[in-house]
Every structure is written in structure tokens, then in C-alpha cells.
Structure 1
């Protein structure tokens, strides 16, 4: 069995003493969430009462002592109540967001990326551009649901989520807040740091993806521009699950206006089965196997500095090649790629690019094979740097971000949690 180098880190810590949390969670689960009648009543709460319940559920989810079974039940209740009520936990609501400068740092057809300040901390504000004809309430509900799922994740190679910002003056303007990554995406990072070792970055991406897949979360849009680099040079996945929320590229925040998109959208990174389904006007849903294909395409970018199928102009031509000859990305000459693109690495990429999804390796297998190709120095860098990326012990983590706020801005006391549970137990 493969044992990852970087183990899953504990959940974010709550300000409540964790010792009674398990008892409170079991009481909530047993007395309410497993009682169909009381569960239906809980989902009918609206307004301030729904807000109190959501805050309570989030406090329980933040506890490191919460069991896996209770966590799954409570998370499902939180997401359902959030969708029905249109509310979400206060810890995700950010109001005092100040944009820096007069212009967005990146922009595209669907939105803008701003550098901003929240409580004197630099953050990335990704604002969705909406129009009067767009149904913003349903849009916000969907966005909140995806953001809630993102907010429960905690791993060194997953970009942390800080919260949702809604412009109080223009209610149809809202966006997501995450750490500001000065190094930008991995494509630009490698252009400015050409001597950086590539395989550890690919290992980082695969580690983050393995974590997502272990929770039955599919990323759905892995490519170089959706991979950010932390201050200490580690890679983390961003924007998972959001790219398909509103259609192709509408929430592809990291690559707004990028060269990669101008070179052919996301087709070049997309698994053939998804491309074929879309070409036939069928519903296409990303899977863990399609993520593996895209992971190899991102690795190709990192190792070669080129987008997949760089020699083919236009998405239509790429689709035609996939249909007619089942092509895979071509291997550049040695002088046009990293020395780390060895024969063994190329064989691994080809295994990930097979057109039969069931024949692609799992992410665990990819990690095991990668580590077999890495030098002892690269292995040591993974072991020594794992906690310094985006995990819960990092200065970039959601917990560290919340601790920078005044106590009480978003947390409930244990007495308040008991009060809320008692309220919904009646």
C-alpha cells in the first residue's frame, strides 16, 4: 500500500475547547440529523435562526476531534440548509475588503482578479462580473455551496479558502477570497525561476489531487494556470469544482486573460472522453480518471514550458486529432524540455493519457512512481517543506487568517452551541 510522504493534516482548530465537541456533535447527529422529522424541521429555518444553526454546524466541523461519520452527516446538513436558506456561516462572510490600486491585476470576459486587504492581510479577491439579466440569487446560492465545500478542505497542496465577499452597494457583485500568492501560477513562476526542480512541483499537485479524490471531490479543471505557487515554492491546486459551475471558463479565475486560454481554451487539458461527449452535445461530467489525464497535461507544461498540443493551432484542430488518430501530446526534443523529462517520466505521462479512462493509473500509483524517479534531495525537500505550504499550520491557512480577526467576529462560544442545539432539538 502506498503511504504518502505528506500525511493529511488535522482539521482547522476551533476556539472552543475540543473536549466537549464530540459529545455535542453526537447529540446533534443522534437527536436531530438522524431523526427525519426533526431534520426536515431544521431545514425549514430561515433568517437569523438559520444563521445561528449554520454557525453552530461550522464550529463543530472545525473541531479536530470530530469523527468522520459525524463530519459527513453535519456537512451534508450544513450545505443543504445553506442552499435552502440562502445563508452561510458568518466565518465565510467578509465585509471589510479593500481593493488595492485602481485596476484589477488580471481580467477577462467573465470577471476580475484584484489584490486586496482584509484586516491588513493581503488577499486575492476574485470577482465574478454579472449583468442585470443574470439571476444573481440562484448564482450566489450555487457559488456559496461550492465555496462551503472548498472551505472544509485542508491540505498543504490545496489553496485555502477565506470567504465570500458581497458588495453591499452593488449586490450583484460578489467574489471569493483566498490567499494572495505573489509567485503567481506555476507557469509564470517557472519562467522567472527556470532552475527550479520540476518533479517536486508535480508531486505537490498529485498530493493535493489525491486528497481531493479521497473525499470524492473531482477538480475538473487542472492546468498550469490553476496551480499556484506558495512563498516557499510549493505548488497548490486552486479553483477545483468551480470551473463547471457556470459553464466553460466562467470561473476560471487563475487564467483570466492568459496565453493558455488564448491558445485554445481548456480543450487541450481535457480528457478525450469529455471532449467527445461535448462534441456530441452530451452531458460531460469530470471524473477522477479525467483529472488524471489533466494532471499529466499540467505536468507536461511544467516539464516542457509548452501547452499540450502546442504545435496544433485552434481547439477544433485538437478535437479533430483526438477523434481521428487518438493523438497524445508530442514529446519535445531534449533541448526544448527539462532534463527531468526522462524516459520513465514520459512513459508515466503516456499511461495517464490513454484514451480508456479505466486504464489510467490512480493518483496514488502516480505518486509512488514519481517518488521512485526522484533524487534523495528532492524527497527530503518534500518531507521538510510539507507543513509550510497551504496546510492548517501555515500562515496562509484559513485558521491563521481567522485568528487575525478580533475574537468573537465569527466564532460561537460552547454555551451558544449548546443553546442552538437545544433550540432545534425541541
Structure 2
């Protein structure tokens, strides 16, 4: 993998301002595409969060024919973000971090039972990453990461009123308590596009 500028969490913290809407969409689109490709190869990402998304700010360029770059990323303010999903593995154990983990994963951890891993826990985690992109806050910040009851009771981070309805719907769809009701990666690529 090529050298990237750093992780999305560190990058957004250092900006001290929200990314532009087009930049947010571009990053979300790149994550959905990357996750779709991982799942297409039979790999499950068990710890999707902003600190495991690698970004590299780039200036918008033109190719030799003078056309805009053929990247799938959307320019805004003459800058876009080359984005890669990092830190994934194919181990069988349950991973993840605190509130980025889906309710069914937290329930299994609390009960000491096995989790049947599928793509839906990572879709839940994507909702938390989208929250990080939209708000620049850590989900349920200030609560102990070991307080599984917050998520198991259906508690979700608050989205401010100024979050666009399309983004609000996307995030809440990813956070659905029933894993069968969450979108799959192909649906997410279309929603975000």
C-alpha cells in the first residue's frame, strides 16, 4: 500500500473545522467502495473507525488530455482526499472498538458467546465513521467504552439539526438495531453516490 498522509481521525482533529459536503461524500464513497471490495474478497473488517481509514489530501489535477482526474473522489475547494481502508484482517476472533461495534457484537461479547460475523456489523461501524466525518466527534464521547448497555439499549450519537436529511437517513439506516435491515455495500455505494 502506498504511503498515506495519516488517519482520518487525526486529520479531522487537526483541521478544527468540518470537511466540505463534497469532501465528506467523497470519503464516504471511497470507504463504501473499499469495504465492498474487501467483502468481495471474503475479508471482513472487524474494526472500522476513522482512525483505521487512511487519507492523503491532494490537489485536484488534470490528466495529460486536460480532463479532470478520473478518480472517484469529488473535488471541493480544489482539494480532495485519497482514501483507503486500512487495518483489516481475516482472523476468526471478534474485534472492534467500543461504540463502533454493532449491538449484536456487543451482546455476544457480554454473553461470552460466538458471533456469526458478516458484513452487517461493519455497516453499523460505517454509520459511526460517517458520524465522525459529519460531526468530527467520537461516537458517544464521554461514556466509558465498556458501557455496552448504551448501544444495546438503542442509544445512538445525536446528529445536529444541520446534517442534511440524506446523510441523516444514511447514518440511521446503518445504525439499525436489526442487522438484516442494514444496507449492504452495494446499496451503500448507490446511497452515497
**TM bracket, shorter-chain basis:** 0.7 to 0.9
C-alpha distance 315-368 of structure 1, shift in aligned 2 (>3 A): same
Q: TM-score, normalised by structure 1?
A: 0.37
Equivalent residue for 1:215?
41
C-alpha distance 331-231 of structure 1, shift in aligned 2 (>3 A): closer
Q: How far apart, CA to CA, are the structure 1 residues paired with 2:109 and 2:135?
A: 28
Contact 1:219 1:291 in 2 (8 A): yes
Q: What stretches of structure 1 move > 3 A for 4+ residues in a row?
A: 191-196, 244-249
* Residue segments in structure 1 that go unaligned for 5+ positions in a row: 1-159, 161-178, 250-265, 335-340, 372-426
1:299 to 126, 130, 145: 130
More contact order relative to length (CA 8 Å, sep ≥ 6) = 2
Aligned 1:139-288 pairs, distance under 5 A: 160=1, 179-181=2-4, 183-193=5-15, 194=17, 195-196=19-20, 197-230=23-56, 232=58, 233-241=81-89, 266-288=97-119
Q: How far apart, CA to CA, are the structure 2 residues paired with 1:246 and 1:362?
A: 22
Contact 1:296 1:353 in 2 (8 A): yes
Equivalent residue for 2:159?
331
Contact 1:268 1:307 in 2 (8 A): no
Equivalent residue for 1:349?
171
Q: TM-score, normalised by structure 2?
A: 0.78
Output one character per residue of 1:276-335: Cα deviation in whole Å (capped at 9) or x when no partner. Answer: 00100112353211111111111110110011112x410233x11233x3222221353x
Contact 2:99 2:151 in 1 (8 A): no
Matched positions, count? 167
Structure with larger Rg: 1
* 3-state SS, counterpart of residue 151 of structure 2: helix
* 3-state SS, counterpart of residue 234 of structure 1: strand
Output one character per residue of 1:12-66: Cα deviation in whole Å (capped at 9) or x when no partner. Answer: xxxxxxxxxxxxxxxxxxxxxxxxxxxxxxxxxxxxxxxxxxxxxxxxxxxxxxx
C-alpha distance 185-350 of structure 1, shift in aligned 2 (>3 A): same
Superposition CA RMSD, Å: 2.1
Contact 1:220 1:287 in 2 (8 A): no
Deviation at 1:247, TM superposition (A): 7.4
